[in-house]
Each structure stands twice: as structure tokens, then as C-alpha cells.
Structure 1
Amino acid sequence: MNESVEGQESILRQVAKKEIEIIIKNWVRICEIKFGWIEDLDKIVVKYAKDFELIKELNGHEDSITSVRFLPDGKRVISSSHDKTIRIWDIKLGKDIKILKGHENWVYVAEIILKKDMVASGSHDKTIRLWDINTEQEIIILKEYKRAVWYINVSLDNKYIVSSLSDGTVQLWDLHSKKEIKQIIAHPHGVQCIQFSFGSQFIVSASDDHTLALWDVQSGNMLQHFKGHLGSVLRARFSPDDRFIVSCSRDKTIRIWDISSNKQLHIFYGHSDTVNDVRYFPNGQTIVSCSNDNTIRLWDITSELTTQILQGHPASPTEIDVSPDGSTIVAGFYDRIIQIWG
């Protein structure tokens, strides 16, 4: 046995089990230290990572939940539903405090426009709408398309809205003028998800054609085309540092891609059915996913291991989000329920 291995084993023997538990108790949420130098310690990290527990259920929607987002304060949540409404919830109160009505069909997605007290939404009624949060009134219908608006996203710099349709096209909107400034024929099949990078310079699209693509916001040019999934790609999200993209698919897998090299870095197996959504935690070391297998899973990226499975609910989770401080998870379900885990 070489000195390096002997030294590693000696270190492990010196650290009591109790001490390891204390060190690692909050690892999943806040610790950014990587313990990859010892494989055995990686397994201990996973074993003693602090668990999320169900702390609240929110009831009020009358049909399936389609999207959920934390507001920046982490104390409120915005949701959309097949019941044609958008709701804002106070987590502590456990009830909706705003209800936005006006869409004529399913609302697929709703997002807060930061610092403007506005909400943007996309719907099966083929419209994108802007709403005033305070008055709960519709401000404007940006456009009525010929196809359903499957997804929208607002850039963090508050300059743009990007939308995607069931026909494979992507649209870029100027938020100030409320005008469409660019349209891209992005994929031959519907675009399930469209997302700005944190720096607002790039967009990633996820499509039913089994691929995802990276786009330059200013030029509208495709920069990278990521291939590997064996089914529709339902969601794609940037890492907090905009270096990586995580995606999930009907092929039951989650994959992480390196933007600069166009290479697949990780593939996560474990879900037994379609993976509906995936998100990075703020620390960039953990991801969370939800699936039609009725589970929510937390994963350690380095080891590709599941750190916790949140289950017990009889319906499938449709979408998830992580609070800005990484302490809380929100999940929306097909059976109209929204769950808060902390």
C-alpha cells in the first residue's frame, strides 16, 4: 500500500462519525467544497446530506399545475395552470394572494418581470400577455399567434422576453417597446422550453426533435447544437455561472453539457419515467429533477449520485423551482397541488 492511500485511510480513521455528520449536515444546500479526493468520503457525503421535508401544501387551482417559480424574496411563489389562471402565493400564509384571469385556454407558463411589478404569461390560447401584479389586470396582449405558446422567459436584465411555439419557432421581444424584434426557425418540431442565460447574452432551446440549441441573443445565430437525448427534451437550464446546461427528457435521463466544448459531461440515471423538469441549485453543485414516476430527486453532480428522493404524493410533479438561497423547493403537480419542501 502506498503512502498516499495510507494517509487517506489515516485521515478517515481520525475523523469520528459524529464529526462527519456535523460537517456534512448542510452540504447539499450551502457547501461548495468538493470532497472528490476520497471516493469513500463522497459516499458518506451523500449518506448524511441534510434532507428536505414537506412543509406546506398550497391548494386553490382547479386543474393541473403547469409552472411554478419563486419570487426573488423566496417567500412567494407564482404558478400557472390548466384552469386558465395565474396565481401568486404567500408561502407563510399558505394561500393565494393574487389571481390573474383573462386567458381563454390553458396557461402553460407565467413569470415575474423583476422591478416592474408585472407578470408575463404564455398560453394554449396562442397569446402572450402582460399583467399588472398590483391591480391583477391585463396590461396588453403582445400577439395572437397561429400556434400555442408553449414557453416564455424574461431576461434578468429586464430587456427581453423570449417565447417558443409548438411549431418550432422562437421569438424575441423588446420589453420596453413591447415589439417582436426577432423570429428564429429554431427546430423542426415544437420547442418545449426556452431560457435566457443568467448574463442575458444567450438563449437555450429544448425541443421535441430530441436536441437542444444555444443561440446568441443579439445576432439570433445558433452557436451550439447539443445531441444525445433519445426523446423529446422538455427542459434546459443554464448553470449559475453560465458554463453548463442541464437538460431532461422523455428518455428518462438528465444530462449536463459543456457550452464551450459542446460535449456531454454527465448523464444521470434513476428516474423510471419521463423527466419533466430539472433545475440547478444556486451553489452549482446540486441539481433537482421531477418525473412522471411521481418522484422529485436531488443529485450530486460530481458523483452523479441521488442524494435524496422526495416521494409519497400520488400524482406526478410537472415543474419545480429552487429558492434563491437554495433552502426551499417548490413543486407543482398534475392533481392541482403545489408543495413546498424545506
Structure 2
Amino acid sequence: MKLKRFLLRYYPPGIILEYIRSNGEQETKSIDLLNLSNDTDVDQLVEEIVMEEPIISESRKPQLAALIRKLIEKIESKKEQQFELFKTLKAHMLPLTNCAFNKNGDKFITGSYDRTCKVWDTFTGEEIVSLEGHKNVVYCIAFNNPFGDRVVTGSFDKTAKIWDANSGKCLQTLVGHNYEIVCTSFDPHSLIVATGSMDKTARLWDVESGKQIARLDGHDGEIVSLHFNSDGDKLLTGSFDKTAMIWDVRSGECIHMLDEHTGEISSTQFEFTGDYCATGSIDKTCKIWDIKTGKCIETLRGHKDEVQDICFNSTGTRLVTVSADATGRVYNVHTGECIAQLLGHKGEISKVQFNPSGNKIITASADNTARIFSETGECLQILEGHTDEIFSCSFNYEGDIIITGSKDNTCKIWKEVNLPVQKK
């Protein structure tokens, strides 16, 4: 094997080895560096990596050290940030249902009760294309990240559609569900789409052909949340039946049923390494589960009302939960300890997300505001201007642009203050 080059992965931090096998085939291997900080002994880390990866020669050590220092610089940057409103988009004729960035953040999508999904240019705020064809509410939407050339939409018309993100052409219509589709996602390889429905099933679809690969039966209630793991070989579903299930994507079989909650599941997520997943519930708790055994390893308590949303940071070391009690809580994933509370909202919080580097958290609330918090719980900024409940908020990949979606029928783009602003 011969090392061709190093590639950087900023979030979560790591280095990709691109190498040539003896038969001429090109392959890649990831080295995860999830614990990088200013305190990291770079030279010692380089020695450890070279010892474990014989493909990296002694002569490559200086280059490897320089890349690690670049990663640390990136992680430690942007701790002091302020955002300003760049543009308000009156995006749809009827209320929005969701919004989401592509991987690099130069485009985002919005779904709406007006039966359409629109693709937008993040830097100009201009509409690129409108995805039209559904016969009812477009409720859930997703890009095929990291590629960003496809969009999937799930609708109350019982179908999902796969679209070309650039031309707006409908490539596939996924037909099979008996009731509304409320959650959807591409796998990390953009080969499979998963859909979850009020018909109590999740389904897996081939992206290229649009054919159903598997029907995932087992839940006794509506499926309201689903996520692929980082490798794309497992799917996590959460249901109103108070359980979550981990599925083998290749076989369509249920690997584990996670059934310790006493209330409906509201949100689910895998963490990056694939060792753990988490479930939030209206029983006011969040639970962390061991993927291999299906056992609950931590029950995170403290909220006084239902948990509405949960999110791991990019390295899987922190988990944030938000609740109808108008607060958020940040937990150490490995100890289960609550290390910060997010206070200040005057209404229930429905959405939360870490920024890519994990040092900031954004929350969306029924009090018409979004708030940016530090990972230690300090409120850094209040994003004001919406005139109704904010139900969606998201950072782009660089962490320097935010979008918020509201029941006031608008989507707002917020940019880091020192960014050059492109006016029309």
C-alpha cells in the first residue's frame, strides 16, 4: 500500500488517509481525532499515529503535525461570534414545516403546507428552484449529504419524492405508505432513503430505482423520528408506542427494541462513533443506549415537562436536550452528568442543534426567538425578529451562518457579523 495524500475532516476532527493498494485500487481510511484541544501534545500524537499506521512514513511526520495543528486552530476558532440578520425570506404561501442545509451550507431547503419544497442560495437568499408535485403538505425534507445533489421530501399525501437539487426535476416518487409520511433521511452513501409514517411502518427505498427495499414492521404506533448511523448500516426509529428500534439496514431486521420509556418518543439520534444512541420522550427524560447490547446505560432526568428534541455534538461527548419547560440541559455523555442548563426562553423549546465545532448551541422557541448559548450554558445572543413560533434552526457546516424557520411564514438567514455581506 502506498499513501497518496492526507485529507482534513474538520467536523468531527480527523484525518483521512487516501492510499493506493498493490492492485492499483484507491481507498481511504479515517483517523478520528475526537479529543483534540489546545492542550494536545501534537508531537506525541503524531508518534502514536505513525506507530499505529505503518502506511505513514517518517518523512510524513512534519506534514501530519501541521495538519493536526490546523485542525486544532479550526476547533478553537469562532468562540467569539455575533450574528446579524442578513435576509428575511417570505418563502411560501402557507406556513413552513422544516428547513435544512446541505453539507457545505451554500444551499438550504424549506418545506411548507403549500405543498412545495424550495431550494435557496444561502449567500444571496435567492430561490434556486421550487420542487412542485406533492398533493398535500410537504412535512419532512432532507439533502443527501455530503453530496447535496438530491433532495427527498415526505408528504401528507402518503408519498415521498426524490428530486434533482439543481434542476428541480422529480426523479422518483416513492409509493407504498398508507398514511402521512412525517420523517425521512438519506443514508450517508446516498444509496438508500428511509421514510417513517403514521402507518406505524418505516420503509427503505433504493435511490436510483425508487423501488422499496424493505418494510420495517414492529412498532405499534406512529413513527415520528428516524436516523441512520455514520456507517449507514443501522437505522434508528422512534415511535408514539413509547419504544425505539435499531434496524439492520441490509436485512431489514430489528436488532434491538429500546423499550424503557413511559411516554411517547419525540426524538432520536445516533452519536458519531456509532457506540451510542439517544432517545427523548414526553416522559420528561432522555435515555442513552448501548448500540451493541440495546441496554439503557443512562437515564437523563431534570426536565419538568416533555423532552422535545435532542442533539449530540459532532464528537459524541456531549448531548443537549430541550423541553416544553422552556429550558435546555447539556450532559456529559460518558458520565450522564448535567454540566449546563440553558435558561432564558419564555416558551417551550422545540428544536436544538450544536454548531459543528461543538462550542455553541442554538435553540428555537415558541417565544418567537432563537438563542445562541455557549456549551457551558451562557446565553451569547438572542435572535429576534420573527413574529410567531420558531420551529426550526440550524448552523451551516462552517458555523458562520444560521437559518431559522417560523410559523410566521418566513425563514431568516443570519450571518456572522464580520462576513462580507452580498447585497442584491
Displacement of 1:149:
0.9
1:190-201, aligned counterparts within 5 Å? 190-201=222-233
1:165 equivalenced with 2:216 (yes/no): no
Which amino acid in 2 is paired with 1:329?
I
Which amino acid in 2 is paired with 1:222?
I
Q: Distance in 1 between matches of 2:247 and 2:354?
A: 20
Displacement of 1:190:
1.1
1:223 equivalenced with 2:256 (yes/no): yes
Q: Distance in 2 between matches of 1:225 and 1:131?
A: 34
Which amino acid in 2 is paired with 1:225?
L
The answer (yes or no) to whether the contact 1:249–1:276 under 8 Å persists in 2 is no
The answer (yes or no) to whether the contact 1:103–1:123 under 8 Å persists in 2 is yes
Which amino acid in 2 is paired with 1:140?
Q
| 1:221–1:286 Cα change, 3 Å | farther
1:209 alignment partner, SS class: coil
Displacement of 1:296:
3.1
Q: Distance in 2 between matches of 1:233 and 1:306?
A: 29
**Alignment partner, residue 205 of structure 1:** 237
1:167 alignment partner, SS class: coil
- Give the TM-score normalised by the residue count of structure 2: 0.61
1:233 equivalenced with 2:265 (yes/no): yes
Query: Which string of whole-angstrom CA distances, capped at 9 and with x for unpartnered residues, describes residues 88-107 of structure 1?
Result: 11122222111111111100
Displacement of 1:209:
3.1
Structure 2 gap ranges (5+): 1-34, 40-78, 302-320, 329-345, 416-424
Counterpart among 109, 127, 132 of residue 101 in structure 1: 132
| 1:201–1:275 Cα change, 3 Å | farther
**Alignment partner, residue 77 of structure 1:** 108
1:264 equivalenced with 2:264 (yes/no): no
Query: How large is the Cα RMSD of the aligned pairs?
Result: 3.2
Counterpart among 357, 381, 395 of residue 322 in structure 1: 395
1:310 equivalenced with 2:365 (yes/no): no
**Alignment partner, residue 57 of structure 1:** 88
Query: Which string of whole-angstrom CA distances, capped at 9 and with x for unpartnered residues, describes residues 283-315 of structure 1?
Result: 3565443233434345566x5x35446353331
Displacement of 1:125:
0.6
Which amino acid in 2 is paired with 1:339?
K
The answer (yes or no) to whether the contact 1:211–1:226 under 8 Å persists in 2 is yes
Which amino acid in 1 is paired with 2:258?
H
Structure 1 gap ranges (5+): 1-30, 36-47
| 1:318–1:244 Cα change, 3 Å | farther
- Give the TM-score normalised by the residue count of structure 1: 0.74
Counterpart among 89, 106, 119 of residue 120 in structure 2: 89
Q: Distance in 1 between matches of 2:280 and 2:387?
A: 22
Percent of aligned positions with the same letter in both sequences?
24
1:283 equivalenced with 2:357 (yes/no): yes
Displacement of 1:234:
3.2
**Alignment partner, residue 339 of structure 1:** 412
Displacement of 1:186:
4.1
| 1:287–1:238 Cα change, 3 Å | farther
Q: Distance in 2 between matches of 1:325 and 1:154?
A: 21
Greater relative contact order, per chain length (Cα 8 Å cut-off, separation 6+): 1
Displacement of 1:249:
5.1
Which amino acid in 2 is paired with 1:139?
L
Aligned length: 297
| 1:274–1:322 Cα change, 3 Å | same
Query: Which string of whole-angstrom CA distances, capped at 9 and with x for unpartnered residues, describes residues 13-62 of structure 1?
Result: xxxxxxxxxxxxxxxxxx96499xxxxxxxxxxxx864444433222211
1:109-120, aligned counterparts within 5 Å? 109-114=140-145, 115=147, 117-120=149-152
